[in-house]
Each structure stands twice: as structure tokens, then as C-alpha cells.
């Protein structure tokens, strides 16, 4: 009886071992069979990627000679030299090409040699743009007044020109006592306001600078509110709301991004970093450089919005008769 039982156990163990061996063998065969098509797919994808990269490289190589030929033709038109001989032609031709390249850089990018773009990206000026002398960038820092510092008041104002040079940078003493300097954000401390300019005087000086200018800024209507001023909407460029910068940064539609994020993404520039708070000069320069990235498309869009109205950069045109009421004109000489 016991011998029969031991024989059965041996037979069952042998069958179980065979079964396990066959299972492992089948799994190994399946893995080897599935690895072959996977390797083929990887090879096909790698080959397609190589072909795609070659096509892009070939397209770029075809475009570059065309652009250079266009610049050469433009150079010949800009600096014609009919009296030059074959021996003397190369030198002025080389200078003319360099001049055209330099001019195309300044026109296309909106940056001059004194203020190159940090990101290397630029926006072609497809339409008429305001002259550099009529563009400024504004940024203001706020302090808190009233109970708990809940009311915002102007504490510092900075204005830079198109090339980033500082036109105005002063601390401003609010009309009401300051209850919260908001130093982590404003960068303003108590001693900054000891010899600060009174608000009324600062407002008059700032309005004189902004008169007739295209004003660039980030969330700039908050700054206008702190200055208690209005500016014509067609002469305001707010970098927080334009879709052109949002597209350049790859942000989704409807998203309003901070100046810090846009500067980091598009200019490769870190601002508002550290514990000293914001610097209004630095923020104004960042907003200005962001505007330059999208200047061409932005100004073309503004031109379309205005329609048939002339694009002007001062309020002098409102003195023409067409903007005056009939009864006023009737009383004239």
C-alpha cells in the first residue's frame, strides 16, 4: 500500500515538473516572438525620424541662400555704384551687405545693438510701428494705506525709453500715512519715503513724460489707477493681456501670466528674485523687451482695430475741426 502511494507521488511530481518546464519554455518563445516586431517598429520609427530631420535641414539650407540673395539685391538697390570697376567693386559691396544686415536686424527685431534681445527671438515688423522716441515703458510699486494697509497707493514709479534708459525713477510719498510698506513685493522700506516726492508733484512730472507716448507695461491699468490718470487705449500696450506673447510662450488661451513667468520663458531672464522685493526699473525694462518680441504683429493688429482712423501717437489731432461740436464752430470768427 505504501509502495503504491510513493510511486503515485513520484509520478505526480514528475508530471508537475514537466508542466512547469513547458510553461517556462512557452513564455520564453512568446517573449522572443513579440520582441521581433517591437524591434522592427523601433527601427521604422528611428528611420522616419532621421528622414524628417534631413528634410528640415534641407529646407533650412534652401531658405538661407534665398534670404542672402534678397539681402544682396537690396544692398545693390541701396548703394548703387555704376562707376565702380571690377577691382574696386568687392569692398563697397561687402560694406553695403553688412549695412543691410544691420538694418534688417534693427527693423525686424525691434532691438538695437545697445539692447539685444536676451532670448534671441524677434518679431518681424510687418506693419507700421510707432517711432522709438514715442514709446516708453512704465512700472509702479505700491504701498498700503488705511486700516491694515488694504488701500493701494503709489510708492515708486519708473519710466524707461525704448532703449531701456531710465527717464524717471522716484519714490513717491502718498497722500495718506503708509500702514504697510509691502516690502517683500514693493521693495520699499521706511527710509525710502523720508525724502520722497509728494504725490501731486510726481503725478505732474509723470503725466508730462507720458503725454503723447505709447505706454508699455504689465497690468498697466493698475498703475494708471494708482497715478489717478487716464491714457488713450490705442496708445497702451499691456503685456499681460496680449495674445501674441501668450502664443510665443505656448500658454493656453485665456491665461493671464505674470511678468516674472513671461520674462523667464521668453527672455530667459530672472526678475523679481530674492528677498529685496521687486524693482520697478527692472520690471519696466522686462515689459519693454517683451513688447519688442511681438511688436510687429501687435502694431499691425492695432492698425486693423483702428480701421480707417489714422494711427497717431499724440493728442494734437483732436484739435482739428472734425472733433469739435457744431455749436462751438458756429461761435468762432
Tens digits of residue pLDDT in 224-253:
999 999 999 999 999 999 999 999 999 888
Q: What's the longest Cα–Cα distance across the chain?
A: 140
pLDDT at 70: 59
> Does residue 74 register a pLDDT over 80?
no
> Does residue 183 register a pLDDT over 80?
yes
**CA–CA distances in Å: residue 84 to residues 75, 95, 97, 99, 229:** 15, 14, 16, 19, 59
Distance of CA 209 to the CA centre of its chain: 25
Nearest to 269 by CA among 164, 175, 197: 164
**H or E segment and range at residue 180:** strand 178-180
**Cβ neighbourhood burial of 260 (10 Å; 0-12, 13-18, 19+):** middle
Q: Report yes or no on 164 lying in a domain.
A: yes
Q: How far apart are CA 279 and CA 273, in angstroms?
A: 10
Q: Report yes or no on 118 lying in a domain.
A: no
Give the mean pLDDT of 36-62.
Answer: 72
DSSP string, 96-153: HHHHHHHHHHHHHHS--TTS--SS-------S----GGGEEEEEEEEEEESGGG-EEE
**Cβ neighbourhood burial of 301 (10 Å; 0-12, 13-18, 19+):** middle
Q: How far apart are CA 68 and CA 74, in angstroms?
A: 10
Q: Report yes or no on 69 lying in a domain.
A: no
Q: Report yes or no on 237 lying in a domain.
A: yes
Taking phi over 0 as left and psi of -120 to 50 as alpha, with beta for the rest, 314 belongs to beta
| Backbone torsions φ then ψ of 303, nearest 5 degrees | -65, -40
pLDDT at 92: 43
- Residue for cell digits 527601427? 43
- Percent of the chain scoring above 90 in pLDDT: 45
Q: Report yes or no on 37 lying in a domain.
A: no
Q: How far apart are CA 156 and CA 140, in angstroms?
A: 6
C-beta of residue 183 within 8 angstroms of C-beta of residue 158: no
Average pLDDT of the chain?
77
Count the domains in the chain.
1
Report the CATH number at residue 240. Answer: 3.30.420.10
Give the mean pLDDT of 277-296.
Answer: 94
Q: Is 6 helix (H, G, I), strand (E, B) or coil?
A: helix
pLDDT band at 128 (very low <50, low <70, confident <90, very high): low
pLDDT digits (tens, 9 = 90+) for 9-35: 666 667 777 777 788 778 888 777 776
Most confident of 55-69, 193-207, 292-306: 193-207
pLDDT band at 111 (very low <50, low <70, confident <90, very high): very low
pLDDT digits (tens, 9 = 90+) for 148-179: 999 999 999 999 999 999 999 999 999 999 99
Nearest to 132 by CA among 168, 158, 99, 167: 167
Q: Report yes or no on 329 lying in a domain.
A: no
Q: Is 158 helix (H, G, I), strand (E, B) or coil?
A: strand
Q: Report yes or no on 5 lying in a domain.
A: no
Domain housing 204: 137-308
Q: Report yes or no on 326 lying in a domain.
A: no
Q: How far apart are CA 266 and CA 289, in angstroms?
A: 10
Amino acid at each position: 500500500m505504501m509502495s503504491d502511494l510513493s510511486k503515485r507521488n513520484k509520478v505526480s511530481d514528475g508530471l508537475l515538473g514537466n508542466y512547469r518546464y513547458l510553461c517556462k519554455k512557452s513564455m520564453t518563445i512568446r517573449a522572443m516572438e513579440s520582441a521581433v516586431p517591437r524591434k522592427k517598429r523601433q527601427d521604422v520609427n528611428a528611420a522616419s525620424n532621421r528622414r524628417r530631420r534631413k528634410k528640415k535641414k534641407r529646407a533650412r539650407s534652401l531658405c538661407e541662400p534665398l534670404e542672402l540673395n534678397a539681402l544682396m539685391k537690396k544692398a545693390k538697390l541701396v548703394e548703387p555704384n555704376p562707376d565702380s570697376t571690377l577691382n574696386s567693386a568687392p569692398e563697397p559691396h561687402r560694406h553695403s551687405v553688412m549695412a543691410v544686415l544691420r538694418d534688417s536686424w534693427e527693423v525686424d527685431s525691434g532691438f538695437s545693438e545697445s539692447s539685444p534681445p536676451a532670448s534671441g527671438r524677434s518679431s518681424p515688423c510687418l506693419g507700421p510701428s510707432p517711432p522709438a522716441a514715442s514709446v516708453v515703458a512704465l512700472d509702479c510699486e505700491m504701498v498700503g494705506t488705511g486700516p491694515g494697509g488694504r488701500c493701494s497707493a503709489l510708492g515708486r514709479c519708473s519710466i524707461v525709453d525704448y532703449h531701456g534708459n531710465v527717464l524717471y525713477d522716484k519714490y513717491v510719498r502718498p497722500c495718506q500715512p503708509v500702514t504697510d510698506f509691502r516690502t517683500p513685493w514693493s521693495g520699499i522700506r521706511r527710509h525710502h519715503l523720508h525724502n520722497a516726492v509728494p504725490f501731486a508733484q510726481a503725478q505732474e512730472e509723470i503725466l508730462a513724460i507720458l503725454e503723447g507716448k505709447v505706454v508699455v507695461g504689465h497690468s498697466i491699468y493698475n498703475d494708471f489707477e494708482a497715478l489717478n490718470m487716464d491714457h488713450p487705449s490705442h496708445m497702451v500696450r499691456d503685456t499681460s493681456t496680449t495674445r501674441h506673447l501668450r502664443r510665443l510662450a505656448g500658454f493656453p488661451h485665456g491665461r493671464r501670466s505674470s511678468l516674472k513667468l513671461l520674462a523667464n520663458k521668453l527672455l530667459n531672464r530672472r526678475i523679481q528674485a530674492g528677498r529685496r522685493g521687486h524693482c520697478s526699473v527692472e520690471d519696466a525694462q522686462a515689459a519693454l523687451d517683451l513688447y519688442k518680441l511681438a511688436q510687429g504683429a501687435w502694431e499691425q493688429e492695432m492698425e486693423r482695430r483702428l480701421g480707417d482712423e489714422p494711427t497717431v501717437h499724440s493728442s494734437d489731432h483732436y484739435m482739428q475741426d472734425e472733433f469739435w461740436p457744431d455749436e462751438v464752430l458756429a461761435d468762432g470768427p
